[in-house]
Structure 1
Amino acid sequence: MLGLRRTHPDRLLPVEPDTRAIARDLYHRVAERRIISPHGHVDPALLRSDAPFEDPAELFIVHDHYVTRLLHAAGADLASLGIGPGAPKGGSREIWRTLAEHWHVFAGTATGYWLEEELSGVLGIEEELGPQTADRIYDEICERLAQPAFRPRALFERFGIEVLATTDDPLDDLGHHRALRESGLPGRIVPTFRPDAYLDPSQPGFTARVERLLAATGAPATFAGYLAALESRRAHFIAHGAVSADHGVVEPLTADLDPGEAERLFRAVLSGAADPAQQRAFLAHMLFQMARMSVDDGLVMTVHAGVHRNHSRPTLERFGADTGHDIPLPTTFTEGLRPLLERFGLRRDLHIVLFTVDETTFSRELAPLAGFYPAVYVGAPWWFLDAPDAIARFRSAVTETAGFYRTSGFIDDTRAFLSIPARHDTARRADAAFLARLVRQGRLSLPRAERIADDLVDAIPRAVFKL
């Protein structure tokens, strides 16, 4: 058969035979363990409605920025991929053909690996994608998606997901989560409090959002009222099962301001009169306040830092935000987080998980911070770094200073539902390879490596995210 592909059983494991044998055994210990996904972006409505997936293009391409950004770099217009208003000429099949025509550009990328894992492992498609096989594979996928076994809830059970966290607006009523909790779906679907748009005065619509927040909670338009409104919404999330609050910031900057200065800044940002320096100071104080609230209410605080959002202005103007042109920035944590850590870093009941897309910070800042402060954990390789080689570099950079137990466990951080098992499997294989190397070097005993392999997929994320 043209382009037949067989998934290699030892993929991502070491090449050297003796090390590979150890890694294989470590991997098989955890390969079928249930998935704990404490940070992601799957829409809970997907599981509540349990509607069949529409078509291969919608499932694999249109909503996956990993895919569309590389196709765009290879010359495909985003509009032709279903991004933005209006349907592309030729419809979903033509979008799929575009992916097939450019399949070679995904060679060696994490995106290409995940897509192959989804096609083979989830859908049972063993043919290699390409221009000659595009239509046949498209039709085969459509046939699968029409079957009850490939609807979202059936796949959720098949994937073995024990915990799946979504990411939600502070004013969301969380009705989908209530319905899912009462539906009998095995596993927990928990919301995550994501307040960025209500904290950052530089974001468009900030004032209107804060006014809606105050109105929804009946709080006065004072800084104290604003804090009380945020605390009220956090309590609403906790009542619906939330375990964490997520913060996406360009720079992890914190500031401990006195109440009078905070009130003056609040009035300035709410009126739209604040200059960029005042906006920056206000956001820094709010990140500090988020840590204070996490001490009070127990929500784990995750900080995803160092990304220039919507880097391409023409693309933003034509297609809107979150359309694949976010670019990593150099990031530093040590000085920016010091005010927060001076006040709260020694609290053992506070969990702060720090994520970066700047690899230079792994050994220079994040591992030393997590290696001293009880409150700090190093987040798993995230976004542009959640690939096999990057995971190995992460382990090498962090482990010598912070060990395994000051890290978060794997975080898939995905909207692409079908990629969840592929991403977790990638991490399990990469960690098995790393542990096997330590065993072969005499740096770990095999029983200790086995215990760590178990804990990386279960005990560690459970402890860090207070599950």
Structure 2
Amino acid sequence: MRTFLDDNFLLKTDTAQELYHQYAKNLPIIDYHNHLPPVEIAQDTKYANLGQLWLANDHYKWRAMRSHGIPERYITGDASDKEKFLKWAETVPYTMRNPLYHWTHLELQRYFGITELLSPKTAEFIYERANEQIGQADFSARGLLERMNVAVVCTTDDPIDTLEHHQQVSKEETSFRLLPTFRPDNAMRAEDTVSLNAYIVKLEEVAGLSIGNFKQYLDALKQRHDFFSLCGCSISDHGLGQIYTEAYTDAELEVIFNKIRNSRQLTEVEVLKFKSALLVNFAEWNYEKNWVQQYHLGVMRNNSSKMYERKGRDTGHDSIGDFKQGPSLSRFLDGLDYRGKLTKTILYNLNPADNELFASMAGNFNDGTVRGKIQFGSAWWFLDQKDGMIKQMNALANIGLISNFVGMLTDSRSFLSFPRHEYFRRLVCDQFGDEMERGELPNDMEWIGKIIADICYYNARSYFRL
């Protein structure tokens, strides 16, 4: 029987083990989409304890704790960091076969050298041992990135962000690059005109422009897009239920914008027209600058209205959606492609039922100008676990070219999440190694090793021009 989380964890064959240890294990990490706070990287934040570092922003863990019957006080409430950690330790033994069980123990091993399993029996020991290390200088925000050999960190930033922290880090000698990503979701939330109108006021302040009509709104957002580019940004991102492609006219957009400025409720069709127009403009700006654009599609957000009112967004109350993705996604990409305005694009889906749809859709708009120009992105959110990653890679391999795949990202708010790249790399190597041993792929270690290295690092470095 194998030892849990040994050196060959997830690697079932000798060939998979060789692929991983020789071609994947030691490659740097390009984390081209995450939600790490740039201020903590700029300030090289030191953390007080494992509870603060591990649990403060991780809604994956919060969901598991709620499922285990842990009161909210120990999740997002006023309990101490240690009390929250002890409740997490109480939950962990019950997370078996959930990816959290693997991630938790990978993180304890990779960052702290702790091989004991986390449980109520070991919680005090693990907490104290980890805290002893967290007090050391190399466990700061930057130290944690260096520990995991992170070469590039691309955060997710609103158009009204000043990017001061990115600018600060760019002037310093660091072992990694910190780059912003243009994420204009808040600028599109026309279903809540009161909040959107408040957002427009903030945009006026940041852009130094008066915004009285839709064209001026676009001008202000374009100014921020230009500013992001000057600060090293070359990636945009959207987190949406689905792509919006409602037909609109300029006159309609001005009427809609006037209603927004007066905080009047829009009709459902007006909301769709507004969002559709913004998506097209953002995409055309991305093309002009040769940016990569990412579309994370399929999420149903804030399902618990009670918890949304109490805790706000991103607190663990989102789920997979069952939106009809194909027609609108096709219209959107085809319109850009037909006008010669389609830049490099990564499509992520949250519903595994759409894997083959997304993989095949990506292939419709590759035009021979760039390897893997339109990508079917890595398994996302609820799918970034063993089964979800394997299904995503199989769909991509069966329908497209997995050899051109730009690989994994953390999509995380935690500085302890980078072993997810290791998890992904082990699964890639296991898939290829298994098929080599069964004679379904040639026993060409050098060539397949190169493909593994490309998927894990080099494809992303080339695709994002890093």
TM-score > 0.5 by shorter chain:
yes
Q: Is the 8 A contact 2:406 2:457 kept in 1?
A: no
Structure 1 distance, partners of 2:323, 2:16, is 33
Q: Is the 8 A contact 1:269 1:279 kept in 2?
A: no
What number of residue pairs does the alignment pair up?
451
Counterparts of 1:68-467 in structure 2, within 5 Å, are: 68-81=62-75, 83-84=76-77, 87-88=78-79, 91-203=80-192, 205-217=195-207, 218-255=209-246, 257-271=248-262, 272-345=264-337, 347=340, 350-363=343-356, 365-374=357-366, 376-405=374-403, 407-420=405-418, 422-445=419-442, 446=444, 447-467=446-466
Greater displacement, 24-33 / 374-383: 374-383
Equivalent residue letter for 1:419: S
Q: Is the 8 A contact 1:115 1:419 kept in 2?
A: no
Q: Secondary structure at the match of 1:302?
A: strand
Q: Secondary structure at the match of 1:322?
A: coil
Q: Is the 8 A contact 2:63 2:316 kept in 1?
A: yes
Q: Is the 8 A contact 2:234 2:464 kept in 1?
A: yes
Q: Is the 8 A contact 1:345 1:376 kept in 2?
A: no
Q: Is the 8 A contact 2:245 2:272 kept in 1?
A: no
Equivalent residue letter for 1:275: T
Q: Is the 8 A contact 1:38 1:411 kept in 2?
A: yes
The CA RMSD measured in Å over matched residues stands at 1.9
Shift of 1:344: 1.6
Equivalent residue letter for 1:57: G
Structure 1 distance, partners of 2:258, 2:391, is 45
Greater displacement, 95-104 / 213-222: 213-222
For 2:370, the equivalent position in structure 1 comes to: none
Q: Is the 8 A contact 2:191 2:265 kept in 1?
A: no
Q: Secondary structure at the match of 1:377?
A: strand
Structure 2 distance, partners of 1:214, 1:52, is 35
Q: 1:41 aligns with which of 35, 46, 70?
A: 35
- Describe the superposition over 1:114-151 as per-residue Cα deviations: whole angstroms up to 9, x where unpaired: 11011111111122211122111111111111112222
- Describe the superposition over 1:359-381 as per-residue Cα deviations: whole angstroms up to 9, x where unpaired: 11111x11111112125211110
Shift of 1:71: 0.5
Shift of 1:39: 0.5
Cα distance 1:153–1:216, how it changes in 2: closer, same or farther (>3 A)?
closer
1:22 equivalenced with 2:20 (yes/no): no
Equivalent residue letter for 2:436: V
For 1:17, the equivalent position in structure 2 comes to: none
Counterparts of 1:46-57 in structure 2, within 5 Å, are: 46-57=40-51
Q: Secondary structure at the match of 1:353?
A: strand
Q: Secondary structure at the match of 2:402?
A: coil
- Describe the superposition over 1:351-398 as per-residue Cα deviations: whole angstroms up to 9, x where unpaired: 1211111011111x1111111212521111011111122111111122
Q: Is the 8 A contact 1:12 1:430 kept in 2?
A: yes
Question: Normalising by structure 1, what TM-score?
Answer: 0.92
Residue ranges of structure 1 left out of the alignment (5+ in a row): 15-19
Equivalent residue letter for 2:56: V
Structure 2 distance, partners of 1:278, 1:163, is 39
Cα distance 1:163–1:24, how it changes in 2: closer, same or farther (>3 A)?
same
Shift of 1:441: 4.2
Greater displacement, 257-266 / 205-214: 257-266
Residue ranges of structure 2 left out of the alignment (5+ in a row): 367-372
Q: Is the 8 A contact 2:283 2:341 kept in 1?
A: no
Shift of 1:37: 0.5
Structure 1 distance, partners of 2:165, 2:329, is 35
Greater displacement, 67-76 / 373-382: 373-382
